Structure formats: C-alpha cells, structure tokens
Amino acid sequence: MNTALYDIPLKRINGDDASLGDFRGKVVLAVNVASKCGLTPQYEGLEKLHAEYGGQGLVVAGFPANDFAGQEPGSDGEIEAFCKTTFGIRFPMFAKIVVTGAQKHPLYDALTKAQPSATAPAGPSFRDKLKNYGIAPNPEPELLWNFEKFLLNRKGDVVQRFSPDMTPDDPVLVAAIKAELAK
C-alpha cells in the first residue's frame, strides 16, 4: 500500500484539507485539468467515467493547473463554477496546483516519479503535435500538457499513465480502469 502517496496533503477546491488517503480502497484517476484548453471537452468524458464506474469504486480526481500556456487562469471559485455549470462536474476537484518544474506539487512529483512515461493513442504523438505548434515539449518524466491521467490501484500505487490526448472514452484507458476495478 502506498501510504506515502496517500499522506501527501492536498486542498479541495473549496479549501478543505484532503489527501488521496480519503479514497483509500478506491481506484483513482488523477487528472491535471484546465478550463481554457483545446482538451477541456475531456471534462465531459471524465464525468461520464465517474458516473458510470463510481459505484464500482472509481474516483476521478481533478487537479487544476495553470502550467501550460496560461490555460487555467481562474481562481479556485471560478474553476469550480465553470466545471459545474459547463460540464456538471460532480467528481472531486482540488485546489489549483503546479504540476511541472521546480515548484511542482509533491503529489505530481510522486506521480511522475512512479510512472515516468505515458501510454498514448495510436497516431502522431502528442509530443510531435506540440512541436508542430511551435511548443517545446517538456522532457520525460514531466507532464506534456493538460489532461494527463494517472491511474492508481486500490492500494494507492500508480499503475499506469496516459497522455493528454488519450480521451476518457479510449478503449485502452477504459480497459485499464475496468481491470483495476475487478481486482
């Protein structure tokens, strides 16, 4: 059991103290999110995953971050309102954090160390897509962009990481979630 990961202090988007230990015994999909990103529509798919598999023990956990092109400029209150009114988000959202670089939150430091590279969908890599937009991608193990996903098993171990362009309904991601829920 990864008690170290469970013990990292977090804040809910409303300011309440929290940790991933609140979800002990559940399968967690931790996602760095942003509300002004081309990938923001993934919120809809993440909420569908939460609704469909929550009863079986899945928790989607959203971590707003403004690390990529200023795509999450809002306050926690503005982010929460956007998520609820635009996408009807009911899964747990956390206070905005830093997910890359020297000021990276301890949670994302632990996640990226535990799983330094991501599974990606077939086709051109997201890294190459960023380069085509003139954006120098972060080197591994840093996150590439918003909506990178980390799957934690019921013991709190990071078992898989998915690239930003791996949509919540991608069969590979869904199969990984179902496999962990079945354990």
pLDDT digits (tens, 9 = 90+) for 84-121: 999 999 999 999 999 999 999 999 999 999 999 999 99
User: pLDDT tens digits, residue range 44-78?
Assistant: 999 999 999 999 999 999 999 999 999 999 999 99
Q: Which of 140, 1, 147, 4 is nearest to 64 (CA)?
A: 147
Write down the pLDDT at residue 87.
96
CATH superfamily, domain at 3-181: Glutaredoxin (3.40.30.10)
d(CA 59, CA 66): 23
Residue 1's pLDDT is 60
- Rounded CA gap, 19 and 21, in Å? 5
- Catalytically annotated residues: 37
| Structural domain spans, the chain | 3-181
Q: What is the rounded average pLDDT for all residues in the chain?
A: 96
Per residue in 18-37, pLDDT tens?
999 999 999 999 999 999 99
CA 8/CA 21 separation, integer angstroms: 8
Lookup result for tokens 């890359």: 100
Flag whether the pTM goes above 0.95. Answer: yes
Rounded CA gap, 150 and 156, in Å?
11
